């Protein structure tokens, strides 16, 4: 089996160790073998990115456009093959894998266009004869650290703007999903990036991640992952006075009001809470439902859950693939136990460990009812196919419950009332608000990010990405 190596200074470099990437739908299936970098190789990657930085900062908009556009085209044309790889290594269904791959292509496409639209401002001074130019300059070397749950889209939405705005990159993907990361880097490398502009260092967070955090040559770090790792990264970045962007967890509420269309509400809940095996930072993990529709909503949601097929991610007819690995499965099972035996919630459906044709991490999606917002299962991110129902007396109480969380990524409401929808959009304490749509599932060309414990720093995606990947210069001239 071919060994996939790291890309350092334009060369594919072997690691000291190898990691076998396992298919969560079939643990006997080795997806690939991936070189693991150590701290010294990570240092070489940072040095290469630093050396390439002045050249790439001076590259023309057309050169950046052409690389990004070529990557977009190749990824889009290979979306069936790469979506299959994604499903095989992460456990999303094939349809979800292909859709995410297409989304990665759309992101490269968007930033290819942005590269041709780079511009500054010319502003009159309050002093006679003086002119002022406001321009954006690249940050330099950017460290990109990504999680396993969107292995194509998240690397794309960090790498594409970094390249667009003239930064060079040291990219450390999550240990569980080196395959998708390697493909993205291979595509960009062949699309004509000069050596050292994009470096791939696969390996452990404690080794490769720490080496990136410890380097004074890394000007900015964009991270997506857990709150615990994010908090550690923020503290390390503060020591270097380094720019940092963190996208972390969620405990996203979906409010269902009495006047909601029942089908819409159930579809939003099922999609938001359980698709992608509930392993989305934007997952609707708290379903906050008002009295008048509560029982009908619970009954209809369980009815729908009964019809969902949990099976091999790449099998036709599968709605929900396996949990990503044994560690996450253990976390999910532990929270199911907490919900039942410590919090005292009612497990209204699911939560069984399932066996299928192949050995995999299969878990029946679970729904807790009769929960209160103070229970652990409503305070802590589970990151699995587990949702809770919280009963609310009316809209006001539902809004209060929705906002009563340390997180603030996405917040949704199902209602046919313009009054409540408008009020909710203004008052939901979240970076993204959805009306009659699942809390998960966003467009690639607009800002993405949250508030409170979910996010730190400027927004990702769309034109707002420039705030992170560039630094502003104000130049005064008296001719």
Q: Please pick, from the candidates 27, 63, 229, 436, the single residue that binds ligand NAD as defined by CB under 6 A.
A: 229
Q: Which is nearer to ligand NAD, 266 or 281 (CB)?
A: 281
Which residues, 41 to 70, sit near ligand NAD by CB under 6 A? none
Among 1, 119, 206, 478, binds ligand NAD (CB under 6 A): 206
Closest CB to ligand NAD among residues 86, 260: 86
Residue indicated by tokens 């940092």: 244
* Angstrom distances, CA of residue 56 to CA of 47, 120, 163, 400: 14, 19, 8, 49
Q: Which residues of 455-464 are buried (b: 16+ CB within 10 A; e: fewer)?
A: bbbbbbbbee
- Residue from the set 42, 224, 285, 388 that interacts with ligand NAD by CB under 6 A: 224
Strands (E), 194-242: 198-200, 220-224
Find how far residue 470's CA is from the centre of its chain.
Answer: 21
Strand order in the sheet with 131-138: 121-124, 131-138, 470-477
- Is residue 213 a contact point for ligand NAD (CB under 6 A)? yes
96 in catalytic set = no
State the Cα–Cα distance between residues 104 and 82, nearest whole angstrom.
Answer: 11
Dump the DSSP string for 28-89.
Answer: EEEEEEEEE--HHHHHHHHHHHHHHHHHHHT--HHHHHHHHHHHHHHHHHTHHHHHHHHHHH
Q: What would the DSSP string read from start to end of 296-364?
A: HHHHHHHHHHHTPPB--TTSTT-SB---S-HHHHHHHHHHHHIIIIII--EEEE---EE--SS---EE-
303 catalytic per annotation: no
Binding segment for ligand NAD among 110-118, 146-154, 157-165, 193-201 (CB under 6 A)? 146-154
* Member of 178, 225, 321, 360 binding ligand NAD (CB under 6 A): 225
Of residues 281, 381, 414, 460, which has the active-site annotation? 281
H/E element, 418: helix 418-427
Q: Which stretch binds ligand NAD (CB under 6 A): 6-14, 142-150, 252-260, 390-398?
A: 142-150
Query: In the window 256-315, what residues touch ligand NAD (CB under 6 A)?
Result: 281
Please identify which residue in 249, 385, 438, 462 interacts with ligand NAD, judged by CB under 6 A.
249
Among 78, 232, 379, 423, binds ligand NAD (CB under 6 A): 232
221 counts as binding ligand NAD under rule CB under 6 A = no
391 lies in the binding site for ligand NAD (CB under 6 A): no
Contact flag: residue 145 with ligand NAD (CB under 6 A): yes
Q: Which residues bind ligand NAD (CB under 6 A)?
A: 145-150, 172, 174-175, 205-206, 209-210, 213, 224-226, 229, 232-233, 247-250, 281, 381, 383, 409, 454
Active-site residue list: 247, 281
């Amino acid at each position: 089996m071919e060994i996939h190596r790291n890309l350092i200074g334009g060369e594919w470099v072997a690691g000291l160790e190898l990691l076998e990437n396992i298919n969560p739908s079939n643990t006997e299936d080795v997806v690939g073998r991936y070189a693991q970098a150590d701290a010294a190789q990570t240092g070489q990657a940072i040095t290469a990115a630093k050396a390439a930085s002045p050249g790439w900062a001076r590259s023309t908009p057309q050169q950046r456009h052409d690389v990004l556009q070529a990557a977009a085209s190749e990824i889009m044309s290979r979306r069936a093959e790469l979506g299959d790889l994604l499903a095989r290594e992460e456990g999303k269904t094939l349809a979800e894998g292909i859709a995410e791959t297409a989304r990665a292509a759309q992101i490269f496409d968007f930033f290819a266009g942005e590269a041709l639209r780079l511009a500054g401002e010319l502003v009159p001074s309050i002093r006679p004869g003086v002119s002022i130019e406001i321009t954006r300059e690249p940050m330099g070397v950017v460290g990109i650290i990504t999680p396993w749950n969107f292995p194509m889209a998240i690397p794309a939405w960090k790498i594409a703007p970094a390249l667009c705005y003239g930064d060079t990159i040291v990219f450390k993907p999550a240990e569980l999903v080196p395959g998708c990361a390697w493909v993205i880097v291979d595509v960009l490398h062949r699309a004509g990036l000069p050596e050292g502009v994009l470096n791939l260092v696969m390996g452990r967070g404690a080794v490769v991640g720490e080496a990136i955090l410890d380097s004074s040559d890394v000007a900015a770090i964009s991270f997506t992952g857990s709150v615990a790792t994010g908090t550690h990264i923020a503290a390390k970045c503060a020591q270097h006075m380094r720019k940092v962007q963190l996208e972390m967890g969620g405990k996203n509420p979906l409010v269902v009001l009495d006047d909601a269309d029942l089908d819409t509400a159930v579809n939003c809940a099922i999609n938001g809470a359980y698709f992608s095996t509930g392993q989305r930072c934007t997952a609707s993990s708290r379903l906050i439902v008002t009295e008048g529709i509560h029982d009908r909503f619970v009954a209809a949601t369980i009815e729908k859950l009964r019809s969902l097929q949990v099976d091999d991610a790449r099998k036709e007819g599968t709605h929900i693939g396996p949990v990503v690995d044994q560690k996450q499965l253990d976390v999910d099972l532990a929270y199911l136990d907490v919900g039942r035996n410590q919090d005292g919630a009612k497990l209204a459906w699911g939560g069984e460990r399932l066996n299928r044709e192949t050995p995999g991490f299969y878990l029946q999606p679970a729904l807790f009812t009769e929960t209160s917002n103070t229970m652990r299962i409503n305070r802590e991110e589970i990151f699995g196919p587990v949702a809770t129902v919280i009963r609310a007396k009316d809209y006001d109480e539902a809004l209060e419950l929705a906002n009563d969380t340390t997180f603030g990524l996405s917040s949704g409401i199902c209602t046919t009332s313009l009054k409540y929808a408008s009020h909710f959009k203004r008052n939901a304490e979240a970076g993204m608000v959805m009306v009659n749509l699942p809390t998960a599932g966003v467009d690639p060309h607009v800002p993405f990010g949250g508030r409170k414990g979910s996010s730190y720093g400027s927004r990702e995606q769309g034109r707002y990405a420039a705030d992170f990947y560039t630094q502003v210069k104000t130049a005064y001239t008296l001719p």
